Structure 1
Amino acid sequence: MQKNQMEQIKNGKGFIAALDQSGGSTPKALAEYGVPEDAYSNEEEMFDLVHEMRTRIITAPAFDSEHILGAILFEQTMDRKIEGKYTGDYLAEEKGIVPFLKVDKGLADLSNGVQLMKPISDLEDTLKRANERKIFGTKMRSVIKEADRQGIKSVVDQQFEVAKQIISAGLIPIIEPEVDIHSEDKAQSEEILKEEIMEHLNSLPSDENVMLKLTIPNEANIYKELIDHPRVVRVVALSGGYSREEANQKLKKNEGLIASFSRALSADLSADQSEEEFNAALKEAVEAIYDASVNKK
């Protein structure tokens, strides 16, 4: 199946849905969905509720392989089931959508204008379980807030170091060095980031491939060189706090760049919507994001 999934991710038309809000961001994700913090009394109940939300999204008719190539899952979601199947199996077998797994453990404190990833102490075990759950690839996030070359270099170095371990486990890593959309020197950060990524890509052997998840750049098509690089399976974009409309408008200007949106995908979904209302809202979001990923200005 992985060969078919590689073809789907590399050349398919559509986008990657990000359903990977983790511990720290889960209460916010539930609140935006209309589930307040007083609706659960402990972490277990919270994760039950967020799995119900994700299950509702994944099983909705609008969540289909005609528009969606892959979906990024939180670790607990990978280990839970939808309609009797592990989530990765359900996505692949019932929906024809390629499953990915978020593997990072959150962000370290700000230093040199960036936030590195916290150490991933159980990565080897997580990758073993991901293979057992038939996960295709992984995702890990760092954040760049300032155009500090040393800081940005440290982000990219760390990402590729961990990516090597993921590749050796037979999975495709999505490297996500997010540039904060509120950064005063965002464009300069993106120039430095591209240079640092290119240096690592050019040193990868021919049998090692990665994906990139990047903030939609200030300068349209600045990442075209990365998109066309032979070691890059696909470059996807995060919405980064932009509204769906603004993110889609910016995305359309970038040839070859497709979406991997989270909040911009689920912003109009609510726990109290009827199934008809829920699917209509999801369908509108899915089709708009698909259009921005496929139809370029």
Structure 2
Amino acid sequence: MTKFVGAHVSASGGVDNAPLNAMAIGAKAFALFTKNQRQWVAKPLEIKTIDAFHANLEASGILPKHILPHDSYLINLGHPEAEKLEKSRTAFIDELERCRILGLDRLNFHPGSHLTKIPKKDPEYDEKLLEAELHCLDVIADSLNRAIEATKDSNVKLVIENTAGQGSNLGYRFEHLAHIIDKVEDKSRVGVCLDTCHTFVAGYDLRTRETYQETMDAFERIVGSKYLMGMHINDSKPKLGSRVDRHASLGQGELDWDTFRFIMNDPRMDDIPLVLETIDESLWAQEISALYALIE
């Protein structure tokens, strides 16, 4: 088996519960938060929790490289205000350290937002927006370089998730991802996670073999498949190019099962975590089985 499918499971009660929750749904991969994702600070991981995590992970048979931890939603590595940017950078470095302590080799994160409000009627709207975006992308890249420098003894990779492009969130264009990676000094520590819903609502069609191939060829050309280190497998409630982030259960949105068949038979997705973030966790075991059934 070359595909490793799972879901973003709960770590409620301790991170050591995440492998058990993954096992319960037949997962071969999973994602988790290593701390409360809506709080800035968490107490350090206790030795007994770390040991229990490793024991449960060994029992699950899931390898660390098939686990895709996600950082806090509060973190904005492109924040325009110096104090809040520093707070985000400190929290991000802590998240990387938590992954290292747990023996995990990657951390998934949303790149950041410029938060600039420009009136649409401004005659220089396009120029000002582009300037804000480019500056923010440079700030994000600088944040990554600082985080890598602060964790030189670590091999945890910083995995940038493409976004839906809501509001001032960046990372919805492949060019954004490429710009950030280009400015990261140690490229061995950086990667990308593609979210199917985010990709679709950002304007990249995945629904037919032809459009799927066009999208993945564009990713290869602009970013590079060597950077692909995980995927989020989600259907999309909104339509193509809407730039609205609303996940749906598989087969219950704008994408159809052909999209997921293409992914499950694409060798570019071998040996990386393929993680469900669909909205009805009671369907996860069923969705995992259905995805494996698509392999030809």
Out of 9, 16, 29, the residue aligned to residue 19 of structure 1 is: 9
Do the aligned partners of 2:160 and 2:177 also contact (CA within 8 Å) in 1?
A: no
Instruction: Report Cα offsets for 1:214-267 as digits up to 9, x if no partner.
Output: 323332342434347265143523525133224563444565468432235xx1
1:173 aligns with 2:173: no
Instruction: Report Cα offsets for 1:25-78 as digits up to 9, x if no partner.
Output: xxxxxxxxxxxxxxxxxxxxxx43x97985652231612x3xx3xx22212389
Instruction: Report Cα offsets for 1:142-187 as digits up to 9, x if no partner.
Output: 577999544554564454444442474321122123115xx69x9x
C-alpha distance in 1 between matches for 2:249 and 2:284: 15
C-alpha distance in 1 between matches for 2:139 and 2:5: 26
Structure 2: runs of 5 or more not aligned: 37-43, 118-125, 206-211, 235-245
RMSD between superposed Cα atoms in Å? 4.7
C-alpha distance in 1 between matches for 2:6 and 2:141: 21
The TM-score with structure 1 as length reference comes to 0.56
C-alpha distance in 2 between matches for 1:224 and 1:208: 22
User: What is the DSSP-based 3-state SS (H/G/I as helix, E as strand, rest coil) of the residue aligned with 1:76?
Assistant: coil
Out of 231, 250, 261, the residue aligned to residue 244 of structure 1 is: 250
Question: Percent of aligned pairs with the same residue?
Answer: 9
Offset, 1:209 = 4.4
C-alpha distance in 1 between matches for 2:16 and 2:185: 42
The TM-score with structure 2 as length reference comes to 0.56
Out of 212, 222, 236, the residue aligned to residue 215 of structure 2 is: 222
Q: How does 1:264-283 map to 2 (within 5 A)?
A: 264=279, 267-269=280-282, 281-283=283-285
Shift of the 93–56 alpha-carbon distance from structure 1 to 2, 3 Å rule, reads closer
- How many residues are matched? 231
1:75 aligns with 2:34: yes
Partner residue in 2 for 1:41: none
Q: How does 1:110-259 map to 2 (within 5 A)?
A: 119-142=88-111, 149-150=130-131, 152-153=133-134, 156-164=137-145, 165-166=147-148, 168=152, 169-180=154-165, 190=172, 193-202=173-182, 208-214=188-194, 215-217=198-200, 218-219=204-205, 220=212, 221-227=214-220, 229=224, 231-237=226-232, 239=234, 240-245=246-251, 246=253, 247=255, 249=257, 250-253=259-262, 256=268, 259=274
Shift of the 227–142 alpha-carbon distance from structure 1 to 2, 3 Å rule, reads same
C-alpha distance in 1 between matches for 2:132 and 2:249: 28
Q: How does 1:38-117 map to 2 (within 5 A)?
A: 47-48=12-13, 54=18, 57-60=21-24, 62-63=26-27, 65=28, 68=29, 71-76=30-35, 79=45, 85-87=51-53, 90-92=56-58, 94-98=60-64, 99-106=67-74
Amino acid of the residue matched to residue 103 of structure 1?
Answer: D
